[in-house]
Amino acid sequence: MGKIKSVAITTNNMKGKKIKLSSKKKTKEAREQCTHHYYSKGHMKTRLKSLGDGTGVCKICGTRLRFIPYEKDEIEDLMDNTRSLCNHTVFISAELGMKAQTDFIASFKTNLTNIEKICKKVEKAGRKVDTIKKKKNRMSGGGNAQLGSFVTGSGRR
């Protein structure tokens, strides 16, 4: 399997086991780009620390993220909220003559439908894998079947 470009970028931005670059600004941008995965000796790995409440922290970038897959209606609500915010902001920024901000948000808005489609597709695929892993876990008598086991266990091969 070929490498994922953005995971390779995360890997290249790491110094030791964390993202660290020559300036604070570059480090911040690299952290925002984090895929929460990295390559080590040809294998993709994660460094997630569970907080025991269905969320955890990526030790590479410091971001707190949810482990439980999002449901379709949750994605729709979040995207509707994002769309509302963007529509309001672009309206006000245009009124105020804030050119760069208006152009940025107007362009960003055109990506929202694609983002929503991708999120739904990925979350659905994630739920499927999660269900299979839980079933396997139950059959093998493993007691650690927990929500998000798919995410927390990914890449640790």
Provide the minimum distance between the beta carbon of 126 and Zn ion in the complex, in angstroms, as a whole number: 17
Per-residue buried b or exposed e for 40-77, using 16+ beta carbons within 10 Å of the residue's own CB: eeeebbbbbeeeeeeebbbebbeeeeebbbbeeeebee
111 CB-contact burial (10 Å; exposed 0-12 / middle 13-18 / buried 19+): exposed
Q: Considering only residues 7, 11, 13, 36, which one is a binding residue for Zn ion as defined by CB under 5 A?
A: 36
Taken in order 105, 108, 113, 118, is the CA torsion positive or negative? negative
Q: CB-wise, 7 or 58, nearer to Zn ion?
A: 58
Candidates 55-63, 86-94, 102-110, 147-155; binding stretch for Zn ion (CB under 5 A): 55-63
Q: Least distance (Å) from Zn ion to the CB of residue 101?
A: 27
In whole angstroms, give the CA distance from residue 156 to residue 43.
8
Shortest CB 38 distance to Zn ion, Å? 9
User: How many residues sit in the footprint of Zn ion (CB under 5 A)?
Assistant: 6
Shortest approach of Zn ion to residue 47 CB, angstroms? Answer: 8
Q: Which of 28-36, 73-81, 99-107, 142-150 is the region at the interface with Zn ion (rule: CB under 5 A)?
A: 28-36
Considering only residues 57 to 96 of the shown chain, the ones binding Zn ion according to CB under 5 A are 58, 60-61, 63
- The candidate with the shortest Cα–Cα distance to 69, out of 152, 145, 156, is 152
List 7, 14, 34, 75, residue binding Zn ion (CB under 5 A): 34
- Rounded to whole angstroms, the Cα distance separating 86 from 102 reads 10
Q: Specify whether the CB–CB gap between 84 and 92 falls below 8 A.
A: no
Nearest residue to Zn ion by CB is 58
Applying CB under 5 A, the residues found at the interface with Zn ion are: 34, 36, 58, 60-61, 63
